[in-house]
Structure 1
Amino acid sequence: MRAVQFLFSGVMAACVLMSGCAHHPPAPPPATTTTLSLAAPQHGDFGHYTLALTWQPGFCTGPEGSSCQADQPKAPLIGLHGLWASRPSDLIKAQVPVTTWWRKGCGLYEGDAASPPPTFSKALSHRLSEVVAHTHSDLVAHEYSKHVHCFGMDGEQFFSVASQLRDRFEQLPSARHLTAESGMVIEKADLTRQIETDTGPLPERGVQFQCNKTPQGQSALAQIWFTLKPDSLSSFPKTNAFMSSPQVQDNCPARFLVPQWGN
């Protein structure tokens, strides 16, 4: 009889535990992605974005970085240059060369009129100061004037999205591996394969690299450019966010230096 009572008590205890579980289901896993989207109220019929990320030691020693300012942060190594819309259709119809768009950007619509400086929340201002190179002219203001203002996009939202795209890449194993290779000469094909391990197969020219020259004449990584679909930013860095760049813009040789600060 004692054995029966013991068995009955065990069954009842199990039922109580199961009942408790039924009333307290496990919490769903936290969301791993944030919806990222941008709406361009003006000239919004462009074909793609170029997400331009900087390798800060290489970018700051090149012509665009102009060695950067003395207060340039030494970390993180992967920074944000910009998020550039391609030519809107009216410029294509007017046969404006793509190189003119690259050079002038919104100036083609706004002439020499200076756009008002962007205003950001304190949090975003701090974040941009961490990840955007401290060039001798204000790079954030330049990016806003050349690549954002004529599209009528909200500056806070635009740079928030751009910085989050940068963060998503930096968190990938391929980005961490690249950081570990600072100071080394690497194969471009190896870096591309490592990125594709994280993203999935990429279209031709879905990722391109920009190199500067060291004072010794060695090619050194300065930027990584991703060609993205305007309506698929939330999918980045997965393969369906990418498209093939219409232009060849990769100027890095098959082997190049991943520079570190001071070389």
Structure 2
Amino acid sequence: MHKSLLAISSILLLGASSYAVRAADLFPQGEHTNFDTYVLALSWQPGFCQSKGYSPAECPNLRNGEGELDALTIHGLWPSLPESLNISVGNWHKKGCNAVYNPQTERNYPSATKPWCNSKPVDMSPAFHQGLVKYMPGIKEPTCLHQYEYAKHGVCFGFKPEDYFGAMISLNRDLRNSPVGKFMKDNYGEEVNTADFKQVIVDTYGEDVSRNAVQLICTPTKKGLALTEIRLALRASEINTTLAYTSFNTDQSEVSGGSSNCGKSFTLIKYREDNKSQRVD
């Protein structure tokens, strides 16, 4: 199903107020549109916070949603190396848009360096920005994850920021609403068998998707491995469609299910109910 142009992609409820996040379909512009894959990186936020020792600003008093799947948040959406760029894949992963020449400034696009909040501001409406926090808590100061992600992966493709981040929101919601999301919700705070999790992916999207286009990333804790991130390899040509088997690019090298490091089991760490800290180990 194709997503309607300028349609309301999601309604975000924040306290007593609601915000409609509108986004047009996402299309790259300019010279380097010849890439075939996007990697959608989604964080399991409580696991991420534990892996970082709860120092990032978005971790203390983090819970800002109503349900278990608010823990499944956005990290980024990363185009693969365009064929028109004569650089190595490793250099592309390291530099991103900083490896691309900007004809308007007659120099390469600026690198995304810390502190990220000092990067060029991302042009989005206050309502969109406030709504995005629910899905991407790292946009809060002093982290400003959205400024880093756009500077490294978005600006050189001419993406309108609201379209770029709106696509991430839509895909995040698709996964939340899928059987994979239901499995995560049903096992919130529990240890799960990695094989069982992958089987849900197989049943939902196909065996080749689970094997070649979905990567699970885990981090050791005192209680064993904890899920911190899920990466999905998506066809660039299908980025504006509802997440389905045809969305995934199983013939790519950006993501490999065989490189997942989650062992035989991992925990879907939950937020603390007292909301004082996300530390659970």
TM over 0.5: yes
Q: Which amino acid counterpart does residue 86 of structure 1 have in structure 2?
A: S
1:217 to 1:184, Cα distance in 2 relative to 1, 3 A: closer
Superposed CA RMSD: 2.5
Distance of 1:130 and 1:185 partners within structure 2: 25
1:34 is aligned to 3
Which of 188, 195, 200 is the equivalent residue of 1:194?
200
**TM-score (normalised: structure 2):** 0.72
What pairs with 1:142-221 in structure 2 (closer than 5 Å)? 142-203=148-209, 204-214=211-221, 216=222, 218-221=224-227
Distance of 1:133 and 1:213 partners within structure 2: 23
CA contact (8 A) 1:54 1:223 kept: yes
Once the two structures are TM-superposed, the CA of residue 111 in structure 1 deviates from its matched residue by 5.3
Whether 1:73 and 2:63 are equivalent positions in the alignment is yes
SS in 2 for 1:53: strand
2:94 is aligned to 103
CA contact (8 A) 2:3 2:242 kept: no
**TM-score (normalised: structure 1):** 0.77
1:260 is aligned to 270
SS in 2 for 1:142: helix
Bigger strand fraction: 2
Once the two structures are TM-superposed, the CA of residue 201 in structure 1 deviates from its matched residue by 4.3
Q: Percent identity?
A: 27
In structure 2, stretches of 5+ residues that fail to align are 5-23, 101-107, 113-118, 272-278
Once the two structures are TM-superposed, the CA of residue 179 in structure 1 deviates from its matched residue by 2.0
Residue-pair matches, total? 228
2:14 is aligned to none
Distance of 2:92 and 2:182 partners within structure 1: 34
Whether 1:83 and 2:71 are equivalent positions in the alignment is no
CA contact (8 A) 2:33 2:157 kept: yes
Once the two structures are TM-superposed, the CA of residue 246 in structure 1 deviates from its matched residue by 0.8
Bigger helix fraction: 1
1:49 is aligned to 38
Distance of 1:173 and 1:131 partners within structure 2: 19
Once the two structures are TM-superposed, the CA of residue 190 in structure 1 deviates from its matched residue by 1.1
Once the two structures are TM-superposed, the CA of residue 119 in structure 1 deviates from its matched residue by 1.7
In structure 1, stretches of 5+ residues that fail to align are 1-31
